Chain A
Amino acid sequence: MSELFIHAKDLWCSYDEDDLRVPVLRGITLDIDRGEYVAILGHNGSGKSTFAKLLNGILEPYAGELTVAGVDLTSPDLSDDDIYALRREVGMVFQNPDNQLVATIVEEDVAFGPENLGVPSEEIRRRVDEALATVGMSEYARHEPHRLSGGQKQRVAIAGLIAMQPSCMIFDESTAMLDPVGRREVIETFEKLNREQGITVLTITHYMNEAARADRVIVIDDGKILADGTPREIFADPDKLKRAALDVPQCTSLVHGLRAEGVVLDGEPITPEECADIICRALKEKTNG
């Protein structure tokens, strides 16, 4: 059974608390269930990162309703302890891998979160070892973070969250500063967490190929939700995405291009494999018919 994890209704938010004339978010309404794998897609300045920062209390909305992990973030008597409790549940990995690691040794950094929570020492040790194994960084436990690659640093940051045992992780453009190898490492790590441990994953990105891997894509443009659905549904309308200054996967463009020239093709491919299937099938039908 699905269980509601994030409930947002008509959220409005502005970066500058004194100046509400230029809202960054203009009425966001959405529900996300526990265990979902969601990509939030939008160009720079679309408001996608602002939305992410509302979810664990870094920013506050000035209008609307927002409940995350049972904590009502728009309640007038929201206390620091509530936010603290929320942050145990909802972890966040940021864009710059250098600016979120605190300690000079990898395992000490992973221990930082549970230490803040007051977890007993032996328990922290166990969690740290487990978290590093989960992200495949055990052999780097005693390394210095600044000698790691960008992708490795981000994996350490993920391990730091795992050790706090959250039920949701938000990736705020965590792959934007990485090379393709690092990007793949990070994506594979959080997909594994989603699949094997049922952790709710929200990835904020402007890379189409990353969004295409999620179960659900939410497109944000100009502070509003432009589209919300499975990747296949989203990419079926390339014009809409182009209006939001976003790309579509090349294979999707190709199929739409062929259709525009009158070729009959079934389905909405996202990967080259799917696209090859569709084209081969159409060619076969043509020779048979």
Chain B
Amino acid sequence: MAELTLEHISYIYGARTPFEIKALDDVSLTVREGSVTGIIGHTGSGKSTLVQLFNGLERPTSGRVLLDGKDIWEKPKEIKRIRFRVGLVMQYPEYQLFEETIRADIAFGPKNIGLSEEEIEERVKEAAELVGLEPSLLDKSPFDLSGGQKRRAAIAGVMAMRPEVLVLDEPAAGLDPKGRDTILQGIREYGKKTGSTVIIVSHSMEDMATYCDDIIVMAHGKVHLSGSRDAVFAHARELCEVGLDVPQITRLALLLRERGVQMPDGVYTVDAALDALRPLFQ
């Protein structure tokens, strides 16, 4: 439903102090409408700053953030509206739960938008379903839930605002494989169902390979690589050189190619590797 574009964005922390740090340096990028886009990079690569620029929590030192072609800082007083259109789930969002019940917490955002009771009720239900929270959990206190369930409730709280762009900072951090898959699948499902653009920030190249259409690789405050998943993984060697943890399969494909085995570009899933190797054994 919405396209997000950054034009020549720079962001400096503590400008004009001895602690001045350039977090982002002339970053330009476009997140395609309706895509699931992954942003990856080391801590300190500027990706967490990027996330806060998307919904106007931070204002860039220079450059423009465009939502559907319009500068979000055109009317600074109306930045709150942008936050309803670009939803942000921060790292470890379970620590922001505060209401007595999960239901009330998920309803908090929609209530702030000013939706009607029925509309809120419906959105809570829908969001809970997307992240895989059983209805019986909705009337429980956040304290009675497991860590993974709390995480899902917090993400549902932002989904219920039905943002046109959903941005998530490390949504799966610290979760076990099953918890991770449930959440990432739910996020993808949200994008598909509402047509919204989804941006996932993550350290895990493996998650990116499984869940994202486009990938943006950040390094030292700049865009290092960007493009479709296949295009980015075609640069597997370069990714290794930046020190990113590429999926095991990608490293295997590189090794095999070095040894003269015919492997296509951009092999990053077990299934793709199976497809590539199968003909060789027949």
Contacts and interface: CB of A to CB of B under 8 A. Distances in A.
A280 B270 contact: no
Given A179-B42, A272-B248, A283-B280, A258 B178 contact: no
Contacts of A81: none
A208 to B, nearest CB: 8
Contacts of B147: 44
Given A44-B175, A149-B43, A250 B270 contact: yes
Interface in A249-279: 249-251, 253-254, 257-258, 261, 263, 271-273, 275-276, 279
Nearest to B247: A250
Given A43-B178, A181-B43, A253-B270, A279 B251 contact: no
A149 B48 CA distance: 14
Interface residues of A, number: 38
Contacts of A181: 42-43, 243
Contact of A176 (B174, B243, B252): B174
Contact of B274 (A150, A258, A273): A258
A177 B277 contact: no
Nearest to B252: A272
B176 interface: yes
A154 B219 CA distance: 24
A254 B247 contact: no
A273 B259 CA distance: 11
Contacts of A182: 43
A180 B203 contact: yes
Contact of A283 (B177, B244, B261): B261
Nearest to A253: B270
A247 interface: yes
A9 B109 CA distance: 51
B113 interface: no
Contacts of A286: 281
Given A44-B148, A149-B43, A254-B249, A279 B177 contact: no
Contacts of B248: 209, 249-251, 271-272
Nearest to B248: A250
Secondary structure class of chain A's binding surface, majority of residues: helix
Most buried by B among A44, A209, A245: A44
Contacts of B178: 43, 245
A280 B259 CA distance: 8
A229 interface: no
B52 to A, nearest CB: 18
A21 B92 CA distance: 31
B173 A44 contact: no
Interface string A38-56: 0000011100000000000
Interface of B: 42-43, 146-148, 173-179, 203-204, 206, 243-245, 247-249, 251-252, 255-256, 259, 261, 270, 273-274, 277-278, 280-281
Interface of A: 43-45, 95, 149-150, 173, 176-177, 179-182, 206, 208-209, 245-247, 249-251, 253-254, 257-258, 261, 263, 271-273, 275-276, 279-280, 282-283, 286
Given A43-B179, A177-B173, A251-B248, 18 more contacts: A43-B176, A44-B146, A44-B147, A44-B175, A45-B146, A177-B174, A179-B43, A180-B203, A206-B176, A206-B177, A208-B177, A249-B248, A250-B247, A254-B249, A254-B274, A257-B270, A258-B278, A272-B251
